[in-house]
Amino acid sequence: MFPLARSILIVCLAAAWSTGAEAGIANKGVPSDRPRIALVIGNSAYKTAPLPNSSNDARLISSTLKSLGFDVAEHIDITRRQMKRAVAAFEDRLQKAGKKAVGVFYYAGHGVQVRGKNYLLPVNADVKKEYEVDDEALDASNVLEAMEFAGNELNFVILDACRNNPFPRSFRSATKGLARMDAPSGTLISYSTAPGDVAADGTEENSPYTKALASAMVKPGLAVEQMFKKVRVAVRFATKDEQTPWESSSLTGDFYFVPGSAGTIVPPTASLLPTDTSNTSEEIAYWQSIQASKDPNDFDSYLDRYGSEGAFTVLARNRAKLLRAHKVDGTSPTQQGTTRIKSQQQLAAEALIRGRKMIEELAESANLVMDNDKIPFGRRIEKFRGLLGEVVDFKPMARFVLQDHYDRASPKEWEDFYATYKELFLSGYDFTSGERWSGEYVVEKIRAYGKDTLVTVRLTQNNEDPLHVAFRVRIRPDSFFGYKIIDVLVSDLSLLVTQRADFKPALNSGGIRHLIATLERKFGKAVKPVEIP
């Protein structure tokens, strides 16, 4: 036996460190009935105010779009004449592709607004007077006009260009950031931040916006509006709410960069299933694309693909069975009992039942994964990490242990610490000792814990005294169970309270950077074997 409770307990008590990293699915040759055409421009090498990340951002988006079946023209560090020629060629390519073509224009670099108009700056821009901007930069509306003249039905304009004006003294009426542009019919315009605000270039290889965009683009089954919503959430989180991406849309239908199944929006097809069943990152992404589905066939497709070796096999099997049962009696898990207003007592009772079910199904899932000798041990570790990453809500936990240092942290410090803290759980597991452990568990008590639910598990091994571990779970409507774990209590001692006390000296001594360095010196760097979104 390999109970989840024991697994999470060891994860919590152990400590290791590694940095977070983004990963995506390479969706080569994504099926589409529409030609996909893209123009990607990244300008970094400005003589005044260079932007180190813009060229990196353009290359990342270019490679992502290529993996999604786009015919991409990529241009790095180009002049105004080259930009205008690239846009003209883009128009020609769209027109030749036909009315059904999908066009994507992506730009990373400096952009300014003057008298309500947006301009994208080439690397050779030399603006000494405000009126010179027309001759020195590319009017962003020219891109919209080129798409309109091409005559195709669906276009996206993505601007990661809302940096500070590099020529502030030359512009009397210039306002920071970019101005709002109305999207023509069949067009969505996405800005890396809200109109009039300034976006971050980022301190890593990519800007927060482009990093989030590239990750979201490859998620199966996301309608484009949902995709940009996920980008907005990720950027706000990474920048501590300092940057909010924004869109202007006139789309009337749905478009999916990666077709797939999310709920019952698009039925899954065999050609879109992950091609490598040994790739745990792909398995996690596929699971995320179906976990909110109300169609049992979606979970059957997962079971057909992964069988008894899936990280989420137990969850898929149980959910498919539940959905079919409700289909027979004419109800659904989400509709049942909604015809009348429920009392607080009824809601509390349901929370207790769901909390217990969550822990029991997770324990069964962990047993199935870690006891499967047919799977190499390294892959079992990856699958187990994937399971944990789906049920633990790390964000409030990381905020709590930082105390008031969270409020003083820069977006970059928060991003780095969050990655560190998440990996402290996901990479800190003592798998070799866990593999040898053969105890049993019993869910012995479940009760309300403030607005949360506390599920207590008794762990026993041989003749040793039992260990009592309680999982504090909180309502998270968008998650598979509707709940996620936010704390673990061992003998009534909170993990978070303990960590908060343990981290306090390092935080008071040198802040968040010092805490990260302290963890790294003490525990070393753990290598993250699989992406946990």
> Is residue 54, in this structure, part of any structural domain at all?
yes
Domain's final residue, options 249, 273, 307: 249
- What is the band of 164 on the pLDDT scale with cuts at 50, 70, 90? low
Structure tokens at 478: 């968008």
Count how many domains the chain has. Answer: 2
Residue 11's domain is classified under what CATH number?
3.10.450.710
> Is residue 41, in this structure, part of any structural domain at all?
yes
**Report field, pTM of the whole predicted structure over 0.95:** no
Claim to verify: residue 309 and residue 440 sit in the same structural domain = yes
Domain's final residue, options 198, 218, 249: 249
Claim to verify: residue 313 and residue 184 sit in the same structural domain = no
> Is residue 471, in this structure, part of any structural domain at all?
yes
Claim to verify: residue 230 and residue 322 sit in the same structural domain = no
> Is residue 499, in this structure, part of any structural domain at all?
yes
> What average pLDDT does the chain have?
77
Claim to verify: residue 10 and residue 116 sit in the same structural domain = no
Which domain does 355 fall in, by range? 1-19+263-527
- What is the band of 330 on the pLDDT scale with cuts at 50, 70, 90? low
**Model confidence over 79-90: pLDDT tens digits?**
999 999 999 999
pLDDT score of 253 more than 50: yes
Q: What type of residue sits at position 82?
A: Q
pLDDT score of 381 more than 80: no
> What is the spatial distance between Cα 425 and Cα 57, in angstroms, rounded to a whole number?
30
Domain's final residue, options 223, 249, 275: 249
> DSSP readout, 155-212?
EEEEEE-----S-GGG-SS-BSS----PPPTTEEEEESS-TT------SSSS-HHHHH
pLDDT at res. 90: 97
> Is residue 29, in this structure, part of any structural domain at all?
no
Claim to verify: residue 200 and residue 292 sit in the same structural domain = no
Q: Is the dihedral of CA 152, 155, 161, 167 positive or negative?
A: positive
Claim to verify: residue 103 and residue 63 sit in the same structural domain = yes
pLDDT at res. 380: 80
Claim to verify: residue 211 and residue 283 sit in the same structural domain = no
**Model confidence over 9-33: pLDDT tens digits?**
333 333 222 222 222 223 334 445 6
Claim to verify: residue 281 and residue 305 sit in the same structural domain = yes
Claim to verify: residue 139 and residue 173 sit in the same structural domain = yes
Claim to verify: residue 237 and residue 290 sit in the same structural domain = no
**Model confidence over 426-455: pLDDT tens digits?**
765 444 334 444 556 678 888 888 888 888
> Is residue 30, in this structure, part of any structural domain at all?
no
Compute the radius of gyration of the chain from its Cα atoms: 25
> DSSP readout, 96-144?
HH-TT-EEEEEEES-EEEETTEEEEPPTT---SSGGGHHHHSEEHHHHH
Residue 67's domain is classified under what CATH number?
3.40.50.1460
Percent of the chain exceeding pLDDT 90 equals 26
Claim to verify: residue 133 and residue 242 sit in the same structural domain = yes
Residue with tokens 């996909």: 36
> Is residue 480, in this structure, part of any structural domain at all?
yes
Claim to verify: residue 245 and residue 354 sit in the same structural domain = no
The stretch 381-397 carries a mean pLDDT of 84
> Is residue 26, in this structure, part of any structural domain at all?
no
